[in-house]
Amino acid sequence: MNQYIIKKIADDLKIAADGALPSGGRSQFLGFRIHDGVAYSLTNEAAITFNEVVSKLLEQNQFSKKFSSKYIERRLKTVFAELLSNQACDLEKKIADLANELSSFDQNNFVFLKVEGIVLSACLSIGKVRFVPGDEYLIKNINDRSSAIIKTSKSNEESKKSFQELIAQQSRSEFQGECVGIVEVNAEPIRAFEYAKDEVRRAIDLLRFSTKAIYPLSEDIRIGLKGDHPKTQRQCFIASEAGITTQGDSVGSVRPFEINEDAIRRMDEIGIFLVSDALSKKQTNNLEEALIRAIHWFSVALTQNESSNAFLFLIVALESLFKAERGNSIGGTVAESVAFIMADNLEGRKKLISLVRDYYGKRSGVAHGGKKSISDSELFTLINIVGTTIMVVIEKLRDFNSQKELMGWIEEMKLK
């Protein structure tokens, strides 16, 4: 980190320190803080300045990839406490030392996360995530890792044993018999947790997309990190003067996504592992980014309980794939692009252009308060259109590196 940035951070910390008030008195209604041997409150302006320093430090040397804002805030608080205790301290040196320590950080963490809605008959890697069964091997792996760390702690033997038993109990309760996503992350634990959740969710986007190619469109298979997209049973009571009745329904399919050799073969056929390779890259190309966005919005659509919301996100998925030329409407570009991708004759293309334009009109009606009702038939038809279009574009990853090349190919088809 260069000296100019170090000085700017130091100056901002001094400004924040000027807004530090002794605890008690009028400051009791402000944010009270106690850490590293100091107790104080910050004015709103000082608190904002301190938070801006945290953000500025995160921006340096791509620190945000390895550190959470909570971690940086905690480390800066230690420096801030020294400043409050000794206004004459060499603040710039302390910030430089902190920056050097952050730059040299190198710690691999394995993050284990429970994924609901999947039954694993075969292990699977998608992007940076390894999906494995929560069997005895996995639980032993977690317990062995924790045991090795606990043994090095300074706690007494009784405390070590108690903590190890707690880890063993919690890991078994969380993961036994479940699907577990594992992500290796070089980051401090809080940031590793944040990063791993993002990567597992990106992988789940591909799995949700796969379900619509493997199971009937009407099958509402719910996949997600624990708590993200649950399934349940709903019960209601209907009362009148004549009597009382009950009705119930299921939220989400009772069927899980069974990942076996047949499912993996089908996922390969629709190009899932081509996109998986893109998720693993440090730098994706323009077309890969567009596909990842489109599949994400397709996945988001599948999590919606209201058909109208799902309809909106499916249209957004199509918009993510195609780039309109200046002066052309995005709706017209999407309709024509879908038609030339899905149909190979004039009549079929005309019907698709008309249908997609009609759906675009319904999308506007939903978004702007007009037509709010979307039928199951319309929704399933759009899911089919979007899913098929995405699969065709995935195939083009072998030929094209950008949306511009994809759009050029579509334009060439118009001339044939």
Give residue limits of the domains in the chain.
3-103, 107-134+177-282, 284-414
Beta strands per DSSP E along 60-123: 108-116, 118-120
Q: pLDDT at position 23, please?
A: 66
Please, which residues have CB within 8 angstroms of residue 354's CB and are 6 or more apart in sequence? none
What is the per-residue pLDDT across 187-228, written as a single tens digit (0 to 9) for each?
999 999 999 999 999 999 999 999 999 999 999 999 999 999
Helices in 36-68 by DSSP H: which ranges?
Answer: 44-59
Q: Report the range of poorest mean pLDDT among 14-23, 173-182, 262-271, 348-357.
A: 14-23
Going by pLDDT thresholds of 50, 70 and 90, the confidence category of residue 76 is: very high
pLDDT exceeds cutoff 80 at 364:
no
Q: Please give the average per-residue pLDDT across 291-299, as a whole number.
A: 98
pLDDT exceeds cutoff 60 at 57:
yes
At which residue do the structure tokens 């430089």 appear?
A: 96
Of 170, 163, 88, residue with least CA distance to 134: 170
Q: pLDDT at position 200, please?
A: 98
CA distance 353 to 335: 5
The answer to whether 97 and 171 are in contact (CB under 8 A) is no
Going by pLDDT thresholds of 50, 70 and 90, the confidence category of residue 69 is: very high
Give 245's strand partners.
238
Q: pLDDT at position 370, please?
A: 58
What global pTM score does this model have? Answer: 0.90
pLDDT exceeds cutoff 90 at 266:
yes
Give percent helix, percent strand, percent coil of the chain, each to the nearest 5.
60, 15, 25
Q: Report the range of poorest mean pLDDT among 24-33, 60-69, 84-93, 141-150.
A: 24-33
CA distance 278 to 275: 5
Strand ranges across the sheet with 38-42:
20-22, 38-42, 31-35
Mean pLDDT of all residues in the chain? 92
Q: pLDDT at position 25, please?
A: 55
Q: pLDDT at position 160, please?
A: 87
Q: Please give the average per-residue pLDDT across 107-128, as a whole number.
A: 95
Q: pLDDT at position 372, please?
A: 62
CA distance 384 to 361: 18
Q: pLDDT at position 27, please?
A: 47
Q: pLDDT at position 195, please?
A: 97
Q: Please give the average per-residue pLDDT across 355-383, as a whole number.
A: 84
pLDDT exceeds cutoff 80 at 56:
yes
Q: Could you tell me whether strands 257-259 and 118-120 are parallel, antiparallel, or unpaired per DSSP bridges? A: parallel
